[in-house]
Structure 1
Amino acid sequence: MSSSDTGLVHWLKEFTHRFSLTEDKASDEHIDTTIRAGVELRGTNLWVLMFAIVVASIGLNVNSAAVIIGAMLISPLMGPIMGIGYAVGIDDTELLRKSFRNLLIAAGISLLVSTLYFLVTPLSDAHSELLARTTPTIWDVLIAFFGGLAGIIGVTRVEKSNVIPGVAIATALMPPLCTAGYGLANLDWRFFLGAFYLFAVNTVYIAVSTMLIIRVLNPAHKKYSDPRQHRRIKNILSTVLVLTIAPSIYLATKLVQEEVYQNRVTQFLAQEPLLKNNIIVSSKIDNRQHVVDLTLIGEEMDDATIAQIQERLKALDVDSRLLIHQNKSKVMNEAAVRDSILSDLYHRITKAQVPDAALEQKKISLAMAARYQIWRDAIEELHVQYPDLGEVSLGEVVGASAAESPVLVAIIMRSQPLDQGHQQQIVNWLKVRTKTGKVRVIVTTN
């Protein structure tokens, strides 16, 4: 063998040694003691579990991610789950029964405490943090599996790190149980089943990843059970894996399809030429039912135009249904329009990750567009009230001092002067109609 070949072999050995799981591994006895201690749930651990469940339930109830994360950090739920994986890895049926029994006790207490909390809390709305725990997908499987790998590697090291707290946050064992409790308290079985399934997915794949790493480390104190019992456990494990992963793949496929539909419809609305003379105040896209619900202000569209847009949308997706709500009366609260536009814009642009400066500029532009639309509607309504009023223009004037509020100025051009009584009526009406504190009317005659 040449010197260059020897150097390459040495380099490969050095490189593969970097990935060794045995270099800083704790002793087999230490690993065994640590995992068995974590399996036991009694006394202090049970009280901590109940307190953590209450904290997590409050976090879900008030939609606070920070509170939920705090609850996950103090929860002792990870111990029995890793105990199951460790027991399967060393063929210790007694430890397997003990770990499974403690996990059932922990899950039962968690469901009981969270259900009681949601029965007595005055807040009953299902916020985003609750909803996020009801539809597990294949990505939750991957998070649980790779999170579990990281967790058991951290447990088997001589020097402990922050791996376990990180795994507790990433795999989110506690929030699904609290969400299941919410479902029980409100008799909402969709919430209960979806959330409990997510908990089951996390539990199974953390246990599986624990078992795999233990098998790789091959501890010396492995206990070999009866071959038939070993085969039965293996068959049960395989069945559980299939039963947990199959629905998650289906749900992930549905989620991808819904995201694709959402993006296609959003792009369609942005490019549709028949909507260019309107501002979309709000757009609600039902990804499951394929219903696109729009609220518009601007130029009123007739039924034929709406039918055209519907046909183009059906060309995009044959099952789509379009609902359009228009401001036919030309009367709309300015603050409501502005808030709705900016809320819709915020969600769209944040999702697209547009830089902050561009987002602020877009907010300002759309707020101005909404204000101009209010003014145009006000001018039309003035002409309905005063048919012979003449030409009307509206605009804002600012003073030299930044502390001064802008003044809405109405310039009226007509052939005859307008008496002070009518001018004051117009001033009062514009203040109410445009929600403006200062209004001035200027009348010019031809």
Structure 2
Amino acid sequence: MINITDKILNFIDLHKGEEDKKTVIQNISSTVSFRGSNLWILVCAIIIASVGLNVNSTAVIIGAMLISPLMGPIVGAGFGLGMYDFELLKKSIKNLLIATIASLATSTIYFYISPFKEAQSELLARTSPNIYDILIAFFGGLVGVIAVTRVEKGNPIPGVAIATALMPPLCTAGYGLALGNFKFFLGAMYLYTINCVFICIATFVIVNYLKYPITRQLDTVHQKRVKYIITILILFLIVPSIYFAYQLFIQKNYTFKTETFIRKEFLDNDYPIIYKNIEYNTNPKRIELAFLTKKFNDAEIINLNKKLTEYDLKNTRLIIKQDTFNLSKDIMNKINSSKNLVDQKDVLINDLRNQLSQYQFKNLQIGSEAKILFPFVTSLSIGNYSSEHKDSKTKIIPIILFQSKKDITSETKEKLKSWLKVRLQKDSIEVYRQSVPEIKTLKK
């Protein structure tokens, strides 16, 4: 039995593959400070994350999280707390505050001047934290700190940056400040605080487990005081998050019951729905529906409202919209609001496409024609180069790169250049030759 226990403990021992403790502490201390390049990288990452939230692009948000250097001072605070190194702890908290203020200022300015003010799903997801966010922050922090203390760092660090998601809550808080929506601001800052605190606590746990050297010896009273503060902070963050998780569960359960009611009472009876709106935060809650052809009389609507209790949909009122004029207005308003957002994005996409098209050639026949007229050409590539002139105007100049096995005379190259000018209808072009190495056969 003892051998089995020893094998298990040996199997999960974190001391194997551990980096030298002094080296780890030096590395952590170097990532705490937010000066110069670190601050610039942070500001750029915040702008990228804000754009991602603004246009609802998950890929852009993930990219910003990978760039962000915010994990440095948070992990530094955990190391400082675990080793009772209060200088490192103070330095880490100070730099985290600097980073937080800089991030809030940047995201607030961005969202204030951004033409897109509508809250997207990626942004809304950061306004209502719950117990699951605590679990993600804590276990993500554990993975990050374990990776930091290894000789072989491996791949966990990028994953931790994505999972713990420190950037999006800060950007969402900036969005709330820019629009004066303090509910968004407080919800996002609560999520950000959860992430920071529980990554720090995870670091504290690992630092104690790996027995990092204590910088300052504390008596029992002071050690207990530190533990009491950590416990109170954990409870202070966990209790509201449990409440939010419970509210999320109630809302999801209500949505499921609502969908079940709609499916069984209407869709299963072949009543096509053309309009659906569920208001969860009103009193009473509202289910608004409109149908393609089916018309309900007053008695049927009263009977359907009574049926809501059979699906455990308490304090809910069913409203069936049958006024064609008002219904059309509601539907058109929703369509127009969506259409305006799509139109704005389409304009931006088209502008980018137009800019990109200036740097591209789509005529693929030129290479084939060149090989016929100039047999020495083995391949030909065309691209564009933008050149700034004294009058501040940008001029697009075609760049032609051709390959040939043998050298050609300047006269022949000039003929090729003249033909390309006529063929591309350009006054100015640049032509360059790239030699092709000859393949020599090996004789036995």
The TM-score normalised by the length of structure 1 is: 0.70
**How far has the Cα of 1:268 moved from its partner?**
1.4
| Counterpart-to-counterpart distance in 1, 2:180 and 2:173 | 10
The structure 2 residue matched to 1:36, chosen from 29, 35, 44, is 29
Counterpart residue number, 2:102: 109
The structure 2 residue matched to 1:210, chosen from 203, 213, 225, is 203
DSSP-derived class of the 1:278 partner: coil
Counterpart residue number, 2:246: 253
**How far has the Cα of 1:228 moved from its partner?**
4.9
The structure 2 residue matched to 1:21, chosen from 3, 14, 25, is 14
The structure 2 residue matched to 1:300, chosen from 287, 295, 305, is 295
Counterpart residue number, 1:59: 52
**How far has the Cα of 1:123 moved from its partner?**
1.2
The structure 1 residue matched to 2:321, chosen from 319, 325, 330, is 325
Counterpart residue number, 2:435: none
Aligned pair 1:139/2:132, yes or no?
Answer: yes
**How far has the Cα of 1:277 moved from its partner?**
4.7
The question of whether the paired residues in 1 share the 8 Å contact of 2:84 and 2:214 is answered with no
RMSD: 2.4
Aligned pair 1:150/2:143, yes or no?
Answer: yes
Count of aligned pairs between the two proteins: 329
Aligned pair 1:79/2:69, yes or no?
Answer: no
The structure 2 residue matched to 1:89, chosen from 70, 79, 82, is 82
Please list the CA deviations of residues 120-157 of structure 1 after superposition, one character each: whole Å capped at 9, or x if unmatched: 11111111111010000000001001101111001000
The question of whether the paired residues in 2 share the 8 Å contact of 1:274 and 1:309 is answered with no
**How far has the Cα of 1:221 moved from its partner?**
4.6
**How far has the Cα of 1:323 moved from its partner?**
1.3
| Counterpart-to-counterpart distance in 1, 2:142 and 2:237 | 18
The question of whether the paired residues in 1 share the 8 Å contact of 2:129 and 2:244 is answered with yes
Please list the CA deviations of residues 151-185 of structure 1 after superposition, one character each: whole Å capped at 9, or x if unmatched: 10010001111211111100100100000001111
| Counterpart-to-counterpart distance in 1, 2:223 and 2:100 | 26
Aligned pair 1:235/2:228, yes or no?
Answer: yes
DSSP-derived class of the 1:298 partner: coil
| Counterpart-to-counterpart distance in 1, 2:4 and 2:230 | 40
Counterpart residue number, 1:388: none
Counterpart residue number, 1:379: none
Counterpart residue number, 1:280: 273
**How far has the Cα of 1:283 moved from its partner?**
2.3
Please list the CA deviations of residues 219-258 of structure 1 after superposition, one character each: whole Å capped at 9, or x if unmatched: 1354323655444433332222111111100000000011
DSSP-derived class of the 1:321 partner: strand
| Counterpart-to-counterpart distance in 2, 1:164 and 1:274 | 48
| Counterpart-to-counterpart distance in 2, 1:112 and 1:45 | 16
Q: 1:309 to 1:189 in 2, by over 3 A?
A: same
Please list the CA deviations of residues 297-325 of structure 1 after superposition, one character each: whole Å capped at 9, or x if unmatched: 22211011011101111342220111111
**How far has the Cα of 1:30 moved from its partner?**
1.4
DSSP-derived class of the 1:76 partner: coil
| Counterpart-to-counterpart distance in 1, 2:89 and 2:130 | 27
| Counterpart-to-counterpart distance in 2, 1:92 and 1:231 | 16
One-letter amino acid of the counterpart of residue 73, structure 2? P
Counterpart residue number, 1:171: 164
The question of whether the paired residues in 2 share the 8 Å contact of 1:53 and 1:178 is answered with yes
| Counterpart-to-counterpart distance in 2, 1:280 and 1:212 | 54
Q: Return 222-231 or 106-115, whichever deviates more.
A: 222-231
One-letter amino acid of the counterpart of residue 293, structure 2? G
The question of whether the paired residues in 1 share the 8 Å contact of 2:73 and 2:92 is answered with yes
**How far has the Cα of 1:80 moved from its partner?**
0.6
Q: Return 123-132 or 276-285, whichever deviates more.
A: 276-285
DSSP-derived class of the 1:285 partner: strand
The question of whether the paired residues in 2 share the 8 Å contact of 1:313 and 1:320 is answered with yes
**How far has the Cα of 1:265 moved from its partner?**
1.4
The question of whether the paired residues in 2 share the 8 Å contact of 1:259 and 1:287 is answered with no
DSSP-derived class of the 1:20 partner: coil
DSSP-derived class of the 2:275 partner: strand
One-letter amino acid of the counterpart of residue 300, structure 1? K
The question of whether the paired residues in 2 share the 8 Å contact of 1:135 and 1:194 is answered with yes
One-letter amino acid of the counterpart of residue 152, structure 1? V
Please list the CA deviations of residues 389-431 of structure 1 after superposition, one character each: whole Å capped at 9, or x if unmatched: xxxxxxxxxxxxxxxxxxxxxxxxxxxxxxxxxxxxxxxxxxx
The structure 1 residue matched to 2:113, chosen from 108, 120, 129, is 120
Q: 1:218 to 1:29 in 2, by over 3 A?
A: same
